[in-house]
Structure formats: structure tokens, C-alpha cells
Amino acid sequence: MGIILKQERLYKTYMTDKSNHSSLARYLDGEFWEIKDNLREEISKGEVFRKSSYGLPLDQNRDLTVERLEYILTRPLMRRHLQDQVKEKQAGFIAKSMDITEVICSADMATGVKFGVVCGLYGGAVTNLGSPEQTETWYLPVTALESTGMFAMTEKSHGSNVRGILTEARYEPSTQEFIIHTPCDDAQKMYIGNAMKGNYASVFAQLIINGESHGPHCFIVPIRDHSGVMTPGVTAIDMQHKEGLHGVDNGIVIFDNVRIPRKNLLSKFGCVSTDGLYSSPIQCKGKRFNAMLAALTPTRLGLSVQAMASMKLGLLIAVRYSHSRRQFGPKDQKEVKIIEHQTQYLRLMPHLAAALALTFTTSKGMAVLYQDVFSVVWFAGGMMDNALCKGEVLQDNSSLQALVAGLKAYSTWENLACLQECRECTGAMGFMMENRIPGLKCDSDAFVTFEGDNVVMLQVVVKELMTQYTRQLGNSVDGGLIQTWASSVSDSFRTSFLGFNVDTVGDLGFLLKALSYRERVLQRSLAARLYAKVEKNKEEFFHAWNSCLHHVTGLALAHIHRVTLEQFALAVQKCPVEEDHTLLTKFCLLHGTSLVYQERAWYLEHHYLTPTTSRQIRTQWLELCRSVKDVALKVVSDFNVPSCCIQAPIAGVANPRAEWAFHSLPEYPFTVSKL
């Protein structure tokens, strides 16, 4: 009787539009669950989020996105949050921003991206690269919706290799102005979000004084006034139709000797005196540019959060439909729910486990950004030199930057793979726009190449891993390499401190150790290869590195895989409610098993798995997927996505535009006590 009541309570939480306050839902939402709930409620109340945006002409779609963003930015909680950004940032600011991003993206990805452009990129550039006065001047009006901004870094010929941007900012002492100029077609600022609506742009350009370049710096350039009249010399071209994110107006921005006052150079990492003397707290050009990019690290973490939001939503829709749609079955009997087909749960459950892993990993990432730098040491793994990290500010923390870059690559790819399975697992219904999955796919396909192409991101990870490795070895690279290489087999790994049993493949300890082992071996062998190529054979570094790229990307992903499993395992350990702990443990095991299973060839090659244990891993993977298929319905409910964000008729949310697609909500196929 008690069980039935409890089940009913659980059931109700996902029937209504009220937030789900089950213990697991609360645990998944994390520290700032109240902010998330508050924003969910605001979005549920907002008329602008009632209508779905698919099928609208481009202009209407963009206008709707502007309306939605304005609605969001004027909510009381958002007003407070933006004031925090303008003033001294407080502990938890990044984490709150990420939580807000997740909720907005669940409602509409284009609105989330536009929020990211205006507040994350433009706002982040001004607040992180500018002085408090500059923030007051250039960002405060944006938070008050008096004007809006864009972020102009990428150029036609330099997308990934952003260090090579060509836009010029020549200083003219006589007028105390910078002259912003696009010297050639290749220097055109491209794909700029909010280009057709924004008033100000944070423009990255080569700072040139007396013909000498001081490397890329960021300048505020007025683009158009509030009635839409363009600044003389500025041209904006609408890039129009994309695969997705139709609500975001991307465009090309071209500068023809546009004059801006000296004070428009964001001055934290470099400034120019009235008579043209340059000064900067960072002398090395390369380091200076890195520091500027580092200030944008939170925005990049935001992409992982967007990918995670998209995965959660896609999985919620696919899992619910899989539990209500029936097809095929035993002869002369009722057809079975499609979740019962082995292939169906094998396709969905590993992604659900990955979505949970990403939830905990991004949440840890948020926690350490700005406010808890010490724990970065733990976060980035055991290979880091402790002393290097303590007390350092974010912009020098290349290890954290690398981790965020790697997480961005892993999460955005994982999201696409997940959504593709969700789309296929929902059959033709998954191809219909009203069911949201196609839109999510098209929107978030952008993430794998934007704000850093994923393959480039993986190289950022490995450059950092190689730097750490060299540091560890001190100066004796040669001997060190050989020595550590030889000792790799007998190495005892730090993950063992987690105290899991490592006797059998079914133990989390075994899985953690396996991932850690793979990362280390790949790291050492890469170091050895690069050393041989560059130091011994005197190959040009670029070519040596390029010939190892397959190895490099493998290592980077191995690193991120290990981090996600460790974070998941830690979150399981800390989970206070036993029922949730039991449930999460299964998913954590599944995540680790999937990661080892997909790389089992490597483990077999390295005799880490025998053919027998490799088969055991497969059996375990099959069994874990099966064992969580029913409870998956509770987990997706605990993602706490309000109906107005789900929208999909196949997930039980009626849509007057597509009545035919409605499928009623599935019932829980289990009793709570079985959790």
C-alpha cells in the first residue's frame, strides 16, 4: 500500500507542470535548484514560449527569439543575476549562469545561443577583458535591454586558427582613435551572431601602433544605433539560412576604416596611452592572447551544458515514446512496447548514462570555475603538478581550459550521437518537427564546430597533457620518457583511492582503473613518438604533430572519458538517498562499461582484457542496458523539464498543430520498491 502511494506521488510529479521535487530530481539539479525551478516557472508562464517556432519564416523566427530573450532577461531573477555579472562576480556566478543556460536551452536552443552571444560572449568579453568603468559603459545598458551586443572574433580565413586574424586596429595619436579596418575579404568577420540586430560588437583585431603589431586585442565598435542606422564604414551582410538555430541572425561584419575612441580598447590585458605607448601586464604576445581566450572559458563550458540540455530533452522524448509505442510481439499476443526490443534499449540507455555523467561533470566544472580553484587539481586528474595550480587565477589555468575544451568536444559529439539514436528510435515520428528531436539535432549540430572546432579542442587537451608530462619529468626528457614508459605496466593508479573493488570487470574500480590505464599509456606513447620525431629525427613540429593526430584525438577523448567516469563515481558516492544511490550506481557502471566496451580492441591489443574478459564486458553491457530500461522512465522524469519545453506530442504533450502525433504518457512499468 505504501509502495503504491509512493508510486502515485512519483507519477504525479511528472504528470503536472509543477517542478519535480523527488530526491533524485533535486540531486540532479544541484546546488542552485531553486534558481532553475524559478526560471522553469517563469518560462512556463511566458506566452512567448507557448508557440513552437518550427516552420516560421526566418524573420518571424528571429523576432520570436528576440522576444523570448527579452522576456527571459526581464525576469526578476535574471535582473539580479545580470547585476551580479556587472558588479564584482560572486561565488557561484558561473554555476548559476550555467544552470540558467540549461533551462533556457531546454525551452529553445536559439534563445539559449542568443543569450550566450549577448551575455556570455559579448558580456563576458566586456566584463572579463575590460575595466569596471568599461563594463559600466558597454555592458550595463545591454543588461537593461537598452542596447544589445555581438562578439566578432571569427574571420573568413581564420575560424579555428583564430590567432591569425587579420582585422586591424591602428592607433592614431593625433585623434586618440583606433581605426578598425578589414584589409581584405579574408578578414571579414563571419558567422557573427546577432549581427543583424546588435548595437555594439566586441571586435578582435590586431592592435597596431606605429606600424608595430601587439597581437589581437578586443575593441568595442558601435555597429548601428537604436533605430538601426549603421555606423559609417560598417557593413553587415545577412548570412541567412543555416541547418538550424534559425532564430539566431548570423552575419558578416566588414569595417572600412571605422574610427573609435581610445577608451574602446578593453584594457585589462593591454592598453595604449594617449601618445601611443603600449603597456600590458603580460609581456609575451602568445600568452597574452591565451589569457584573453581563457577569460572566455565559461562560455565554452556553456556549450557542454547546452549539449547536455539537448540530450536530456531528446532522451526524455525517446524514452517516453519507447514506453508507450508498441510494435511486434509474440505470435497471437499483444504487441510489446518498443523499449522491450533489445536494440532499442541498447541504443538509448548508454546515452542516458552519458547524460548523467555529463550532468555531474559539468556541474563539477561549474563549481571549480573561479570559486574553488584548488579543487581543479583533483578535477583535471592526477597528472597535474599540485603546486602549479594553487591560488592561480583562471586565465593562467591552462589545465582547466584544456579540460573545458575537451569536455566541449566530447559532450557536443555525444549529444549528436544521442539525438540521432533518439530520432531513429522514435521512427517516422522522430522525423516530424512537432516532436522536437529533429529541431534539436539541427540546432545543436552547430556546436561541434563552433566556438572551437572539436578536433582543435581535442588538440588543446593534448597540448596541455604533454606540457604536464614534460613538467613532471623535469628537464631530463630523454631518460624520463624511457623510465616512465617502462614502469607503466606496474603503475598503481590514483583512482584506486576511491576504494572500489577491482577484482572483476563488473566493479566500478576495475572500469576506473582501465580508463586511467588507457589514458596514461596513450599519453606516454604519444610523448615518446613526438620526442622521436622532433628531438631525434628533427622533424618540423607541425608535421610531426600532424602525423600523430589520430593518436592525439584518441588520447584527448580517453582523458575526458576518464574524467566523466570519475566525476560520475564521485557523485554516486556523495548521493545521500540510498534509493537514488542504487539507481545511479547502475548508470555509473553502465557508463564505465560502455566506455571500456567501445575501446575493447585497444584493451585486447594491450592485453589488458583477455578475449574472455572482453566478452564479459559485452555481456555486462547488454545486461546493464536491460536492467535500467524501466527505471529510465523515472530518470527522464527527474530531468525536470516542464511540458512547455518538452512540446513533443509523442512524449504526451498535446500540440494543436499536430494532434495526430499525440501519444499518452506511459505508465511506470515498475513499482518504486524495485528501484
Least spacing, CB of residue 446 vs its own copies, in Å: 6
Minimum CB distance to its own copies smaller for 23 or for 614: 614
Report CA 406 to chain centroid distance, whole Å: 9
Out of 13, 206, 454, 484, point to the residue binding its own copies (CB under 8 A).
454
Least spacing, CB of residue 515 vs its own copies, in Å: 16
Give me the phi and psi of 369, to 5 degrees please. -65, 125
Nearest to 637 by CA among 586, 595, 672: 672
Q: Please tell me whether residue 534 binds its own copies under the rule CB under 8 A.
A: no
Site map 140..179 versus its own copies, x via CB under 8 A: --------------x-xxxxxx--x---------------
Stretch that binds its own copies, among 106-114, 322-330, 355-363, 513-521 (CB under 8 A): 322-330
Least spacing, CB of residue 603 vs its own copies, in Å: 9
For residue 438, give the H/E element and its range. helix 437-444
Q: Please tell me whether residue 441 binds its own copies under the rule CB under 8 A.
A: yes
Least spacing, CB of residue 626 vs its own copies, in Å: 9
Hey, what's the cell of 644?
512547455
Torsion angle in degrees (nearest 10) through CA of 121, 125, 127, 129: 160
CB neighbours of residue 58 within 10 Å? 14
Please, which of residues 349-388 interact with its own copies by CB under 8 A? none
Q: CA-to-CA distance for 334 and 320, rounded, in angstroms?
A: 19
Report CA 286 to chain centroid distance, whole Å: 25
Q: Is 529 exposed, middle or buried (0-12, 13-18, 19+ CB in 10 A)?
A: middle
Minimum CB distance to its own copies smaller for 182 or for 495: 182
Please say whether the beta carbons of 269 and 90 come within 8 A: no
Minimum CB distance to its own copies smaller for 423 or for 518: 423
Hey, what's the cell of 395?
586565465
Please, which of residues 572-601 interact with its own copies by CB under 8 A? 600-601
Q: What is the 3-state secondary structure (H, E, C) of 350-376?
A: HHHHHHHHHHHHHHHHHHHCCCCHHHH
Nearby residues of 484 by Cβ (< 8 Å), 6 or more positions away? 473, 524
Out of 77, 477, 534, 604, point to the residue binding its own copies (CB under 8 A).
604
Least spacing, CB of residue 607 vs its own copies, in Å: 7
Q: Please tell me whether residue 208 binds its own copies under the rule CB under 8 A.
A: no
Q: Please tell me whether residue 656 binds its own copies under the rule CB under 8 A.
A: no
Least spacing, CB of residue 270 vs its own copies, in Å: 23
Q: Please tell me whether residue 346 binds its own copies under the rule CB under 8 A.
A: yes
Least spacing, CB of residue 445 vs its own copies, in Å: 7
Least spacing, CB of residue 264 vs its own copies, in Å: 27
Least spacing, CB of residue 109 vs its own copies, in Å: 14
What 3-state DSSP class applies to 1? Answer: coil
Q: Please tell me whether residue 331 binds its own copies under the rule CB under 8 A.
A: yes
Least spacing, CB of residue 136 vs its own copies, in Å: 33
Least spacing, CB of residue 460 vs its own copies, in Å: 13
Q: Please tell me whether residue 455 binds its own copies under the rule CB under 8 A.
A: yes
Site map 221..260 versus its own copies, x via CB under 8 A: ----------------x-xxxxxx-------x--------
Minimum CB distance to its own copies smaller for 22 or for 459: 459
Out of 174, 210, 274, 343, point to the residue binding its own copies (CB under 8 A).
343
Q: Please tell me whether residue 445 binds its own copies under the rule CB under 8 A.
A: yes
Hey, what's the cell of 620?
555486462
Please, which of residues 536-575 interact with its own copies by CB under 8 A? 540-543, 546-550, 553
Please, which of residues 65-84 interact with its own copies by CB under 8 A? none
Please say whether the beta carbons of 288 and 215 come within 8 A: yes
Least spacing, CB of residue 618 vs its own copies, in Å: 8
Out of 40, 81, 181, 423, point to the residue binding its own copies (CB under 8 A).
423
Minimum CB distance to its own copies smaller for 42 or for 434: 434
Least spacing, CB of residue 432 vs its own copies, in Å: 6
Out of 116, 198, 430, 649, point to the residue binding its own copies (CB under 8 A).
430
Minimum CB distance to its own copies smaller for 18 or for 242: 242
- First CA to last CA distance, the chain: 16
Q: Is 497 exposed, middle or buried (0-12, 13-18, 19+ CB in 10 A)?
A: exposed
> How many residues lie near its own copies (CB under 8 A)?
81
Minimum CB distance to its own copies smaller for 57 or for 76: 57
Minimum CB distance to its own copies smaller for 28 or for 313: 313
Least spacing, CB of residue 88 vs its own copies, in Å: 35
Least spacing, CB of residue 456 vs its own copies, in Å: 8
Stretch that binds its own copies, among 40-48, 166-174, 451-459, 631-639 (CB under 8 A): 451-459
Nearby residues of 88 by Cβ (< 8 Å), 6 or more positions away? none
Please say whether the beta carbons of 647 and 653 come within 8 A: yes
Nearest to 385 by CA among 262, 261, 473: 473
DSSP notation for 26-65? HHHH-TTHHHHHHHHHHHHH-GGGTS--TT--HHHHHHHH
Site map 401..420 versus its own copies, x via CB under 8 A: ---------------x---x
Stretch that binds its own copies, among 30-38, 172-180, 452-460, 518-526 (CB under 8 A): 452-460
Please, which of residues 31-70 interact with its own copies by CB under 8 A? 54-55, 57-58
Q: Please tell me whether residue 330 binds its own copies under the rule CB under 8 A.
A: yes
Q: What is the 3-state secondary structure (H, E, C) of 481-529?
A: HHHHHHHCCCCCCHHHHHCCCCCCCCCHHHHHHHHHHHHHHHHHHHHHH
**Backbone CA torsion sign across 210, 173, 201, 231:** negative
Q: Is 33 exposed, middle or buried (0-12, 13-18, 19+ CB in 10 A)?
A: middle
Minimum CB distance to its own copies smaller for 19 or for 304: 304
DSSP notation for 210-237? TTEEEEEEEEEEE-B-TT-PBPTTEEEE
Minimum CB distance to its own copies smaller for 11 or for 54: 54
Least spacing, CB of residue 549 vs its own copies, in Å: 4
Nearby residues of 482 by Cβ (< 8 Å), 6 or more positions away? none
Least spacing, CB of residue 54 vs its own copies, in Å: 5
Stretch that binds its own copies, among 86-94, 314-322, 397-405, 443-451 (CB under 8 A): 443-451
Q: How far is CA 349 from CA 73, 312, 339, 408, 630, in A?
A: 36, 12, 10, 21, 10
Q: CA-to-CA distance for 317 and 423, rounded, in angstroms?
A: 9
The DSSP symbol for 334 reads P
Stretch that binds its own copies, among 2-10, 255-263, 321-329, 569-577 (CB under 8 A): 321-329
Q: Supply angle C-alpha 606, 610, 611, rounded to 5.
A: 120
Hey, what's the cell of 170?
591602428
